[in-house]
Amino acid sequence: MLHAILWQENADIVHACRHHPFVRGLFAGTLAIEAFRRYVGQDAFFLRAFVQAYAVALARCESLAHVRQLYSFVGGALEELKLHAAYAADLGIELDEVSPWPSTLAYTDFLRRTAWHTDLGPTLAAMTPCMRLYAYLGQAGAAQRRGAHPFARWIDTYSSREFDLLARQVETLLDALAADTPAVHDAYRYSLQCELQFFSAPLEPGA
Amino acid sequence: MIAVMDDILRSPWVAAAGDLWRQATRARFLDAVADGTLPPEAFQRWLVQDYAFARGLLSFQAVMTAKAPRAAYGLLIAGLTALDAELTWFEQHAGRLKLELHGPPHPVCRRYVDYLIAAAYTRDFAVLAAILLGVEAAYLAAWSALPTTGPYAEFIERWSSPRFAEYVGGLLKLAGEHEHPGRQPAFNEVLRHERDFWQMIWES
C-alpha cells in the first residue's frame, strides 16, 4: 500500500517529531504553557488552510463516493478547529488575531499551492502526513500518560479511535487516488518536514 | 540611474515597505558579484535556485494572466515570453557548467514559489499585480545598482537593460491602477522572500 510505503520511507522525520523537545515536553506535561499557547494559535491558522485544501480536493473528485469522503474530512477538520477554539478560550487566545509565522505560512502556502496547482495524488499526499503523524503521536502520548495531565485534551483527541479511523480513511483515499510518482513522494516528505518545523517554531526565541 | 528606477524609489510602494526594500535589494551575494569575489559555487547555486524560481514565477504569471483585464494582456504576455527565453538561457548556462537544474529546490526557494503560486489562485488580480511588481522591481533594483563589468556582466546587463526597466515601469503602472487593501502587505511579503532568497544563496 502506497500510504505504508510513504510512512516507512519517512521514518527519520517521524522519529524526529516523536522525540522533538516540544513533543517530549507535551507528553511529559512539562511543556511551557506559553509554548503550547503559541502552538495552538498557529495550528488553528494551519487548520483553516487544511479545511480549504480538502475542499479544493473535493471539487476535483469525479467519483461521488470520493466527494462524500472528502466532505466528511472537511467536517472532521472543522471539528478539530472547534477543539482549538475551546483551547483558545481556556488559554485566552484570540484566534482571529493570530498572525502566522513564516514556518506556518510555508506549510499553508505549500498546501494551497499543491491543492490548487497539482493533482489529487500530490494533494492527498500533502494532507495525509498530518493525520497519520498526529494519530501516531497521540497514541504515543496516551501510552506514556499517567493520571492528571495539563495537555490531556490534546492527547485524548489525537489518541482517540475516531481520529485513528479518520487517519486510516485519509490513507485509504490516498491509496485510491494517488499514483506512486516522485511528486507524491515529494509532497508527503515535504509535508512531514513542515510538521517538524511546526514543533520547532513555538520554542524559538522571539516566537 | 534608470528613469524607471527613480519612479520606483519614489513610489508609495517603496516608501511603505520601509527597510524591507533595502533588505530585499542589497545582498552580500550582489556585492560579491560587483567586486568580482563571488565564489563559483555560490554563482552555480544561484543559477540552479533562480531557475527553479523562474519556473514557479512563470506558473504564477500564467495564472495571473488568465485573471487579468484585457488591457494588461500585452504586458503580461510579453513578460511570459521573456520568462520562457530566460529559462532557455538558464538551461544553456547550466548545460555548459553541467549543473542539474531539476533537483529539489532549496526550502527557501520552495517557500517563495509556493507563496507565489498559492496566491495566483487564491488572491485578487490587484494583489497579484502588487506581487509581480515586487518581484520584478526588486530584481531591477538589485542588479541595476551593480557596475556592468567583470565575469558576470552578462547577468548584470540582463536585469539592468532598458527593456527590462520598461517592463517594470509597465508593472508599476499596472499595480498602481488596481487598488486593494491587501496589495501593500503582499508587496512587503515578496520583499521578505527576496531577502531570504539572497541570504540562502550566500549562506547555504
Helices (H), chain B: 3-9, 12-17, 19-25, 28-35, 40-67, 73-97, 107-122, 125-144, 153-158, 162-177, 183-203
Chain B residues close to A110, C-beta within 8 Å: 110-111, 114, 118
The pLDDT of residue A53: 96
Q: Cell digits for A62?
A: 469525479
Note the pTM of the prediction, 2 decimals.
0.93
Q: What is the pLDDT of residues A8-62, one digit of tens each?
A: 999 999 999 999 999 999 999 999 999 999 999 999 899 999 999 999 999 999 9
**Binary contact (A106, B114; C-beta < 8 A):** yes
3-class DSSP state for residue A156?
A: helix
**Binary contact (A113, B117; C-beta < 8 A):** yes
**Binary contact (B118, A186; C-beta < 8 A):** no
The pLDDT of residue B92: 95
B114 → closest Cβ in A109, A186, A193: A109
Residue B38 · residue B150 · CB < 8 Å: no
The pLDDT of residue B111: 97
Q: Please, what is the Cα angle at B154 between B150 and B155, to 5 degrees?
A: 100
Residue A34 · residue A203 · CB < 8 Å: no
Q: Cell digits for B170?
A: 509597465
ipTM (interface pTM) = 0.89
The pLDDT of residue B104: 87
Q: Is B46 exposed, middle or buried (0-12, 13-18, 19+ CB in 10 A)?
A: buried
Å from A161 to nearest chain B CA?
Answer: 34
A110 → closest Cβ in B63, B114, B120: B114
Residue A164's contacts (CB-CB under 8 Å, 6 or more residues apart) are A135, A139
Chain B residues close to A117, C-beta within 8 Å: 59, 63, 117-118, 120-121
**Binary contact (A113, B104; C-beta < 8 A):** no
A117 → closest Cβ in B111, B121, B192: B121
Backbone angles phi, psi at A165, to 5 degrees: -65, -40
**Binary contact (A102, B113; C-beta < 8 A):** no
Closest CA to A154 of A52, A32, A23, A48: A23
Residue A109's contacts (CB-CB under 8 Å, 6 or more residues apart) are B111, B114, B115, B118
Closest CA to B122 of A118, A187, A113, A126: A113
Q: How many CA atoms lie within 13 A of B93 on its CB side?
A: 17
Exposure string over B166-182, b if 16+ CB within 10 A, otherwise e: ebbbbbbebbeebebee
Position B31 pLDDT exceeds 90: yes
Q: Cell digits for B1?
A: 540611474
Q: Cell digits for A158?
A: 489525537
* Contacting A residues, span 95-134, partner chain B, CB-CB under 8 Å: 102, 105-106, 108-110, 112-113, 116-117
A109 → closest Cβ in B59, B104, B118: B118
The pLDDT of residue A205: 74
Nearest C-alpha in B relative to A187: B104
B122 → closest Cβ in A102, A116, A190: A116
The pLDDT of residue A206: 67
Type of residue numbered A8 = Q
Q: Which of B53, B58, B63, B114 to mutate to test the interface with A (most CBs of A within 10 A)?
A: B114
Sign, CA dihedral B99-B102-B107-B111, equals: positive
Nearest C-alpha in A relative to B121: A116
Position B107 pLDDT exceeds 80: yes
The pLDDT of residue B27: 95
- Give me the total of CB pairs closer than 8 Å, taking one residue from chain A and one from chain B: 38
Å from A103 to nearest chain B CA?
Answer: 9
Closest CA to A166 of A195, A123, A141, A130: A130
Q: Which of A52, A103, A109 to mutate to test the interface with B (most CBs of B within 10 A)?
A: A109
Q: What is the pLDDT of residues A84-119, one digit of tens each?
A: 888 888 888 888 888 999 999 999 999 999 999 999
Backbone angles phi, psi at A204, to 5 degrees: -75, 145
Chain A residues close to B111, C-beta within 8 Å: 102, 105-106, 109-110
Chain B residues close to A105, C-beta within 8 Å: 111, 115
Position A74 pLDDT exceeds 70: yes
Å from A197 to nearest chain B CA?
Answer: 12
Nearest C-alpha in B relative to A104: B111
Closest CA to B140 of B6, B10, B12: B6
Measure the CA–CA gap between B164 and B107, rounded to whole angstroms.
Answer: 28
Position B1 pLDDT exceeds 80: no
Chain B residues close to A193, C-beta within 8 Å: 107
